Amino acid sequence: MRICHVTAYFQGNMGYQENYLPAAQKKLGHEVVLLTSDRLAYHPKYQETMKWSDNARIVGEGHFVEDGFDVVRLKTTWEWGAHWWVYCPDLWKEIEAFAPDIIHLHCINGMLSYQTMWGNLSRKYTLIVDDHNNYFNKVPYTWKKWVFYQGLKHFVLPIMIRSVSRVLPMSHEVREYLYTELGVPRSMTTLNHLGADPEEFHFDETLRREVRAKYGIGEDRVVIINSGKITEVKDNHILLEAFGKVVRQNPRAYLVMVGNAPKEYRAQLEAIIAREGIADHMQWLDFLPHDELTAHYSASDIGCWPGDWSCTVIEAAACNVALVQPDLLYTKYSSANGNSLNFARGSADDLADKLLTLVNDDARREDMRRRSRELIERELNWDALAKQTVEIYTRCLERQPFPAEPAEA
């Protein structure tokens, strides 16, 4: 099968679906190419969170091999970076040159997405669209956004969706978001989760000892890890307030926070650290290269992501890390094996209670660590997800019916 992935931005050696899914499909024997813009993603305050200059984002156009598969970077003539919108005039030229059996479009909303869907109205390739937008991606939901979404729902997507064979929401919440906000029928969707590479991400006792020795963390400490881009929507301020409560009740608790934060938010977090008196019970590390994460997850016992969800949750789970996450639809599938304690998002008290439960209960924590790894090995690994995605492609190509996806309470 010839599979063409289309995404607005791509960066090699990251933990995103665009990095792993094409590689896993190629491993299955399919011909794969990924088309993208000539630049890296416009992350919020990327100069501080990613340590990039404006020029560092511009990779340039051309053909590359990244993460083991072909990547074509297209000349970008227009960008609305804050919303990850780019326009690449040669997109359809490259698609038709590759002559795919399947076009896999990443994200339903964006200029490159509309380019692909609009162009396919007349070309009629088998087009699959996946989407990762949870409700938190809309915050703040201003009146301008309301008008914009109403326009998409009632005037734009009813036309564009005619060129799409199937829509793949990443989580249960994304499915409801697509239905409620964009009018995508549930009958047109199939859940297609994110995963991790269990060979790359796995528990390593030697690395655990090395990392703990490096930072002077005793073997008796129960290490809580948080990693990723640290911005206000990730709720690290809630994590620090909760951790202050935990460590006062059980000084075995230790926090490792990995990632860079914008200057204003960093100052806010450092003030909380000083106020809570937790500086001697934690490490705040700069953003780590992707290939160093396994060692730091192995050194940890509990992973906590208190705000907007990140794919690093799955990678940590693959390294035998018990999870603590918000009790919302977007964490449902990463909590599916009794491997996570979930709390009311925004409540430092509830978060502290869940963290303390695991810090105090060695047996329960170890059982949940095992269950995290089990979930990845059984379901949330890229080999299994690539096979599932190819099965979806095949159903679409052969016009086979799909089982109904139920509504979420």
Q: Residue 93 sits in a domain of what CATH number?
A: 3.40.50.2000
- Domain co-membership, 347 together with 293: yes
- Domain co-membership, 367 together with 221: yes
- Domain co-membership, 158 together with 242: no
Query: What pLDDT score was predicted for residue 270?
Result: 98
Q: How far apart are CA 318 and CA 379, in angstroms?
A: 11
- Domain co-membership, 174 together with 225: no
Look at the block and give the residue holding tokens 């090995």: 377
- Domain co-membership, 28 together with 132: yes
Query: What pLDDT score was predicted for residue 50?
Result: 80
Query: What pLDDT score was predicted for residue 105?
Result: 98
Supply the pTM of this predicted model.
Answer: 0.92
- Domain co-membership, 284 together with 191: no
Q: For residue 122, what are the contacts with CB-CB under 8 A and spacing of at least 6?
A: none
Look at the block and give the residue holding tokens 């705040």: 284
The total number of structural domains in the chain stands at 2
- Domain co-membership, 388 together with 366: no
- Domain co-membership, 156 together with 240: no
**Which neighbouring-strand residues pair with 102?**
3, 126
Burial of 211 (0-12, 13-18, 19+ CB in 10 A): buried
Residue 404 lies in a domain: no
Which domain covers residue 70, as residue numbers? 2-195+381-397
Residue 200 lies in a domain: no
- Domain co-membership, 244 together with 163: no
- Domain co-membership, 190 together with 318: no
Residue 403 lies in a domain: no
Residue 150 lies in a domain: yes
Q: What is the pLDDT of residues 122-149, one digit of tens each?
A: 999 999 999 999 888 888 888 988 999 9
Low-confidence ranges of the chain (pLDDT < 70): 405-409
Query: What pLDDT score was predicted for residue 135?
Result: 87
Token digits of residue 286: 């700069």
- Domain co-membership, 210 together with 110: no
Query: What pLDDT score was predicted for residue 408?
Result: 60
Residue 334 lies in a domain: yes
- Domain co-membership, 275 together with 358: yes
